[in-house]
Amino acid sequence: MDRRAYLKASVAFGSSLLMPAGVLALVGCSRTPLTPELAGFNGSTMGTGFSVRLGVSKLPEIDQLAAQVSEVLKDVDIHMSTWRADSELSLLNASRHSDWQAMTPATTQVIAQALDTSARSDGAFDVTVGPLVDLWGFGAGADDSTAGSKPTGQAISRRMAQVGHGSIEVNIAENTVRKLNAGTRLDLSGIAKGHAVDRVAALLDSAGHHSYLIEVGGELKARGRKPDGSAWRVAIERPSVGKRQAFRAVDLNNQAIATSGDYRNFFSNGGQRYSHSIDPRTGAPVNHQLASVSVVAESTMAADALSTALMVLGPDGAMAFANKHQIAAHLILKSGTSLKEEYSRAFEPLVS
């Protein structure tokens, strides 16, 4: 299968070619046996995988709960994927007018959160980056004939005219969204998986579960503690191609963690490496020493969007932004042939 066909088949939100950059669950993930005190299940969604681990040894209604989780994740995909022509988001992108358009409350709220992060980061995170993601060959609308090649400066300039979070307006009270620029296309790949995790967490909470670890495409959220009283322990993965290794382990205390990196989805052309992390302000992939950013927060959706923003900002900008806004951020930087880590003041309590 060629690269573009594999990408379309395996990655509904354009997050990664092989596997999502992210966080590894050190207990109960699909790659290790369940410990005796945990029940859970795995599945596939949005072109990636998901897992749920519960702090109980047995759960009579496990099949019913698994089906409910699958329905929640399917709902996110149906409404927010750019890889489905019939999704709510794709229909908005295809529209060529500036009228207010009715959206489901969930999609409206995710777009509003994305716009808030866009404004806070001065456009480092931009929900309208879709045209640029497609131009560089990483999105659902990419041209197969130009995949793996560097776009011309003229082509980048044309797409930049379609990008700018100021061209999107949201009315939360009415659950409506409108585009002020007909060519604007939204891309929720930097936030939708985090939202999906939060939706599953809300389902588990409503079902009375107080101990769990959820993972969707490398974004995780934990609630409570395991039956033995220990915390849910996860690992930030080492930025490396083709294999998954732990870099640093952290305990989650009713928290979520999300990672953005440049080491899974990329192409090389003319001796230059181009990653899927596009800077909306320049129209080109990021080009700095930052290999990955992990953010710990209460909301997985917020952590997801912020990790993307920090990845674009680069080492110095990311650290300054994280410290200014009290964000718990962990950075892994390339230093010659080795790696080094830096972390914000808010992340320090997580270092053990």
Determine, yes or no, domain membership for 7: no
Coil, helix or strand for 120?
helix
**pLDDT tens-digit map of 99-130:** 999 999 999 999 999 999 999 999 999 999 98
Top mean pLDDT of 133-147, 200-214, 328-342 is at 200-214
Which of 179, 209, 232 marks a domain boundary? 179
> Which pairing describes strands 176-179 and 212-216: parallel, antiparallel, or unpaired?
unpaired
**The domain that contains 314 carries what CATH number?**
3.10.520.10
Which of 179, 203, 229 marks a domain boundary? 179
Tokens 């930025």 -> residue: 239
Residues 219 and 339 in one domain: yes
Residues 205 and 340 in one domain: yes
Residues 222 and 91 in one domain: no
DSSP structural state of residue 150: P
- Whether residue 172 is predicted with pLDDT greater than 90 in this model: the reply is yes
**The domain that contains 166 carries what CATH number?**
1.10.3980.10
Determine, yes or no, domain membership for 4: no
Residue 198: which domain range? 17-79+191-350
Determine, yes or no, domain membership for 3: no
**pLDDT tens-digit map of 341-351:** 999 999 999 99
Residues 63 and 90 in one domain: no
Determine, yes or no, domain membership for 6: no
Measuring CA to CA, which residue among 109, 301, 295, 89 is closest to residue 195? 301
% of the chain at pLDDT higher than 70: 81
Residues 201 and 329 in one domain: yes
Residues 253 and 201 in one domain: yes
Neighbouring CB atoms inside 10 A of 37's CB total 16
Residues 86 and 50 in one domain: no
Q: Compute the Cα dihedral for 247, 250, 254, 255 and give only its sign.
A: negative
Determine, yes or no, domain membership for 227: yes
Q: How many domains is the chain partitioned into structurally?
A: 2
Residues 91 and 26 in one domain: no
Determine, yes or no, domain membership for 211: yes
3-state secondary structure the chain: CCHHHHHHHHCCCCCCCCCCCCEEECCCCCCCCCCCCCEEEEEEECCEEEEEEECCCCCCCHHHHHHHHHHHHHHHHHHHCCCCCCCHHHHHHHCCCCCCEECCHHHHHHHHHHHHHHHHCCCCCCCCCHHHHHHCCCCCCCCHHHCCCCCCHHHHHHHHCCCCHHHEEEECCCCEEEECCCCCCCCCCCCHHHHHHHHHHHHHHHCCCCCEEEEECCEEEEECCCCCCCCEEEEEECCCCCCCCEEEEEEECCCEEEEEECCCCEEEECCEEEECCEECCCCEECCCCEEEEEEEECCHHHHHHHHHHHHHHHHHHHHHHHHHCCCEEEEEEEECCEEEEEECHHHHHHCC
- Whether residue 18 is predicted with pLDDT greater than 70 in this model: the reply is no
Question: What distance in Å separates the CA atoms of residue 162 and residue 184, rounded to the nearest whole number?
Answer: 5
For residues 274-287, give the mean pLDDT: 84
Determine, yes or no, domain membership for 1: no
- Whether residue 282 is predicted with pLDDT greater than 70 in this model: the reply is yes
Of 58-62, 265-269, 299-303, the poorest mean pLDDT is in: 265-269
Measuring CA to CA, which residue among 225, 214, 257 is closest to residue 55? 225
Residues 330 and 224 in one domain: yes
Query: What per-residue confidence (pLDDT) applies to 165?
Result: 95
273 alpha-carbon distance from chain centroid? 21
Determine, yes or no, domain membership for 32: yes
- Whether residue 7 is predicted with pLDDT greater than 50 in this model: the reply is no
Query: What per-residue confidence (pLDDT) applies to 33?
Result: 41
Report residue 266's pLDDT band, with 50, 70 and 90 as the boundaries.
low
Residues 344 and 259 in one domain: yes
Residues 212 and 106 in one domain: no
Mean pLDDT of the chain: 85
Which of 179, 203, 225 marks a domain boundary? 179
Measuring CA to CA, which residue among 114, 110, 88, 112 is closest to residue 101? 88
Question: What distance in Å separates the CA atoms of residue 83 and residue 97, rounded to the nearest whole number?
Answer: 22
Coil, helix or strand for 196?
helix
Q: H/E element holding 171?
A: strand 168-171
Report residue 136's pLDDT band, with 50, 70 and 90 as the boundaries.
confident
Residues 38 and 59 in one domain: yes
